[in-house]
Chains A and B, each alone.
Chain A
Amino acid sequence: MSMALTLLTLLPLLGALAVASLPAGRKELARRLGLGFSLAAMGLAMLLWNQFDAAASFNFVEQYSWIPSWNLKYHVGVDGLGMLMVVLTALVIPFSLVSSWHIEDQPKVYFALVLGLEAGLFGVFTALNFFHWFIFWELSLIPAYFLIKLWGGTLRTPAAMQFFIYTMVGSVAMLLAFQALYLATGTFDFATLARLAKSGQLSQSMAALAQNHGWKNGLGQWMPTLIFGGVFLGLAVKVPLIPFHTWLPAAYAEAPAGTSMILTGVLSKMGVYGFLRLLLPVFPHEMQALLPWLLGLAVLTIVASAGAAMAQKDLKRVVAYSSINHLGYCLLGIFAAAQATDARPLWADEKAAALNGVILQMFNHGISASALFCFVGLIERRAGGRRGLEDFGGLRQIAPVFAGLMGITVFSSLGLPGLNGFIGEFLIFKGAFSLVSWAAVLSVAGLLLTAIFLLTLLQKVFNGPLNERWSGFPDLSLGERVMLAPVIAIIFIVGIYPQCILGAINSSVMQMVSNLAR
């Protein structure tokens, strides 16, 4: 298994090439081959999950020298966080592919692009060196762009463009910041950077960098903050954090449902993952210094997105804003964990709780949000492209299974105890209340609003008098039920037995917390 992670990344890439090289006419074969590759990747991911040793800090590590003159290594490995994200990706991609089975327009290109996207995601979640982490981070952009651009709705062109440019702005900012970091430290290795940060050498090096180049006092002083700002911007756009979110509703709404599932399910996790892997360990001092502002942004994200979701008339946009909202909780947890501990040892436990919650929430949101988009996609297809909140009504009467399963997903999303969403949010708030109580209290408003708009959604679509227009609305077919069954199962399993995930991530989280600066 020494090459396991590289293999995992290469597998979907090979799949993409294989699918793309099929003749255009063989649509069904292309779909099957694509799904086959994604299932193979899932199998491999599951195998790794099975062999994953939670006690060790990084599993399946590979390390090769790459460009020695830059002190650059190819370094991959997964801890609990990375492993979980790999699993999430491996689960969501086949789910998305199955739900995109109906695409008739160049399906082989679509499937190939999704597989390429999967490769990029695996690459991001396994990389431990900024250089190739960044390669995959950027490479995932291209397939995502084309998925929106080629198979999206009427406004797909501006949406795709906006998505790409926003992300690119963030990426360039991050790139520049990391270069400055490299100049200061001479390394791109995440672990090394974190170690330097903890020992305080990083701040010194950054100050030295400014001094060595004779930059004016002001610039030298602001240097670390600038670097932090660059990385932060890159990640915040990806998550997204309000006010860097404006690309998101358009992109999610215009993308085909299968793509929205991936965008929200996994792509948005890249940003949160970056916060955990890069910002938290490498820039603890900067985060502490700016903590009120960061928390303010998180609260704003939670509350404003919930408010915006209430105002939406389009199902996809509702779900899109709810997605922002849920990721806001993740950021709240992360920022809370950045709070200076000072001399309060108990806070370490709270931080661990918050971070455990964050990671769990990432996984849960990945599952439920992609399922939600899947449902919205199903509705949209059945209604011939209509997806307005007010267009439906009373569907429960004629499509009870549909309504039931979607209801479960919605409740999972709003954090009903017993379903998966609950435990993550609970842990986050548990940590946040002790660490940064004001922000947590304000965020509760977001929780309430979320509950309101999600319930409104259920009510408007499924309850009330039946809209006669949709009297022929078919219930879930057998195939669709089979497709959704595993997802619903995961919702219940994680909700009832969260330990299956917490067990894998807890030791990584403990390590993370112990690495945080005091």
Chain B
Amino acid sequence: MLAWTIYISFIGAAVLMLVNPRHRLVVRGLALGTAVAGLLLALLGVLEYQRLAGLATIVDCSWIPALGIKYYLAVDGLSLVLVILTGLAAVTGILFSWNIEERVNEFFALYLALIGGVYGVFLSFDLFLLFVFYEIAIIPKYFLIAIWGSTNRQYGAMKLALYSFVGSAMVLVGLIAAYVVSGARTFDLVELARFNPFPASFQLWAFPLVFFGFAILAGLWPFHTWAPTGHVAAPTAASMLLAGVVMKLGAYGAMRVAMTLFPLGLMKWQPFLAYLAATGIVYGATVALVQRDLKFVIGYSSVSHMGFVLLGLMTLTEVGLTGAILQMFSHGIIAGLLFAVVGRMVYDRTHTRELARLRGMNLGRLMPFTAVAFVIAGAASMGLPGFSGFVAEWQVLVGAWHAFPGLAGLAGLGIIVGAAYTLRAIQQTFFGDQSAGPPEAPHDLAPVTWPEMLGVFILLGATLAVGLYPRVMLDLIVPSLNAPWMQALVGGIKP
């Protein structure tokens, strides 16, 4: 059933290519229908999954026997969380792209192709298959940004594409080497993790290769530089997807592949990577504090928040890993919302993202709904309790206390700076000084449309629901982390 999330997205993409772009409403309707169907399938998957528990196989058949490659789709709690996130991001992204007029069928086709690839990554338990889906996502990303983007779009798109591709080249080398070394003629993730056929000396270099390869896409400092430029260049929906799910692909891959397969390498590299992650938290936040472009603020905030994910992963504790997964979900939702507000609701109406100019517009009065949405999203992004971000960062911090108490303090500093830049952004965008002179805002700002409202409510609802009742996610995540084949992650293994 869940496998249809993948198929339906690709089918939707193919169908959309054939629809005449002049029938915009049809195109949008089709795209939205496909995404909603994907989301519903994902949610149904939760029900189905609760019956099965553990690692539920969806499809498992031979694909390329020459190399022992299987078409192996399965789902565990971690994947399920991210699949739901993808569904949510897909639906809301389409809602916030309702105003795309130019080449609309291509836009949504690429969009759905990207979504299909993302679903695929989260559901693949064969390394090769996972990698295939991982790479499928690269090209639609490039075009979405290069064609429909804004500031410096060609540069941002190319940078993102090349960074992703370099990352996946590293992963590819690692995979091939692992395949050769294991001698098992299989890419089955679970099997490889169980038997762990890799000698320690091999893991020592294969782990960082694969981990960094994936983590580039997760925005790990200092390989994060694609993130701000990419986010800024991208059109709203693509920014939402980039921050919402694509960065999660990286983190997910790093966890699923690198950390699961190479536990010995992981133990060696753990402290170093934890330091990088914590540096990223503080660095991203600090840089966000001095940005002039609103989207850059959020772009760097993504780097900072993804630092929490990576820090959580590196704690190798149940609570820290749970936090990391939850933070992936939470950041996906919150960053999506922030980008939606900034890109669609502010930029598309005022045609500027310069904080200095927005300050003179006093948008808080002109666009109250937008302002409230941004404030709530900002509060969630700061990690105020009651929202999903708090629960997630909370757990990461608890995990960090276990493993690296000093870094917990550093991450705390990151939270504080995070509050500062978010506040600054809120203040300058919506509540600039009225005394600075007459507002220079165009007074014919278009009213908020229903797709935007709906999108805002969906995302806010999701972050609040998880924030107030995290059990919905925890019940999925925690049992999966305790699966026997994941033991290398929780607690690590002693060489």
Binding site for B on A (CB under 8 A): 24, 66-69, 106, 131-132, 134-135, 138-139, 141-142, 145-146, 149-150, 154, 157, 160-161, 164-165, 168-169, 172-173, 175-176, 179-180, 182-183, 213, 215, 219
Contact = CB atoms under 8 A, between A and B. Distances in A.
A176 B408 contact: yes
25 contacts: A69-B474, A135-B385, A139-B385, A141-B384, A154-B435, A157-B427, A157-B433, A160-B427, A161-B427, A164-B419, A165-B419, A168-B415, A168-B420, A172-B412, A172-B413, A175-B412, A176-B397, A176-B401, A176-B409, A176-B412, A179-B401, A180-B401, A183-B401, A183-B402, A213-B402
Closest A-B pairs by Cβ, 8 of them: A135-B385, A168-B419, A172-B412, A179-B398, A138-B384, A176-B412, A138-B385, A135-B386
A134 B419 contact: no
Contacts of B368: 24
Prevailing SS type, chain B contact patch: helix
B431 A149 contact: yes
Interface string B374-392: 0100010010111000100
A154 B435 CA distance: 9
Nearest to A149: B431
Given A172-B412, A175-B394, A180-B405, 14 more contacts: A67-B471, A106-B365, A132-B385, A135-B386, A138-B384, A149-B431, A160-B427, A161-B423, A164-B423, A172-B415, A176-B412, A179-B398, A179-B401, A213-B402
A302 B341 CA distance: 47
A230 B21 CA distance: 59
B158 interface: no
A213 B403 CA distance: 7
Interface string B404-437: 0100110011011001100110010001010100
B197 interface: no
Nearest to B409: A176
Interface of B: 364-365, 368, 375, 379, 382, 384-386, 390, 394, 397-398, 401-403, 405, 408-409, 412-413, 415-416, 419-420, 423-424, 427, 431, 433, 435, 469-471, 474, 478
B427 A139 contact: no
A135 B402 CA distance: 23
A219 B382 CA distance: 29
A402 B229 CA distance: 61
Prevailing SS type, chain A contact patch: helix
A479 to B, nearest CB: 29
Nearest to B479: A69
Given A165-B423, A182-B398, A183-B402, A67 B384 contact: no
Nearest to B419: A168
Contacts of A68: 471
Nearest to B395: A70
Contact of B427 (A67, A132, A149, A176): A149
A24 B367 CA distance: 12
B424 A161 contact: yes
A173 B412 contact: yes
Given A67-B474, A142-B379, A154-B435, A179 B423 contact: no
B435 A169 contact: no
Given A142-B375, A165-B420, A213 B385 contact: no
Given A67-B471, A183-B398, A168 B416 contact: yes
Contacts of A141: 384
Contacts of B379: 142
A280 to B, nearest CB: 24
A311 B384 CA distance: 38
B401 A169 contact: no
A473 B23 CA distance: 70
Contacts of A154: 435
Nearest to B365: A106
A172 B416 contact: yes
Nearest to B428: A157
A179 B412 CA distance: 12
Q: Which of A164, A165, A168 has the most CB of B within 10 A?
A: A168
Contacts of B364: 150
B483 to A, nearest CB: 16
Nearest to A179: B398
Q: Which of B408, B433, B435, B471 has the most CB of A within 10 A?
A: B471
A386 B368 CA distance: 32
Contacts of A219: 405
A172 B368 CA distance: 30
Contacts of A131: 385
A173 B427 CA distance: 25
Given A139-B386, A180-B401, A182-B398, A150 B419 contact: no
A67 B474 CA distance: 9
Contacts of A132: 385
A179 B416 contact: no
A139 B412 contact: no
B478 A179 contact: no
A142 B412 contact: no
Contacts of A164: 419, 423
Contacts of B419: 164-165, 168
Nearest to A136: B385
A196 to B, nearest CB: 18
Nearest to B411: A176
Nearest to A24: B368
Contacts of B375: 142, 146
Contacts of B365: 106
Nearest to A160: B427
Contacts of A175: 394, 397, 412
B246 to A, nearest CB: 29
A169 B431 CA distance: 23
A179 B397 contact: yes
A69 B394 contact: no
Contacts of B423: 145, 161, 164-165
Nearest to B322: A69
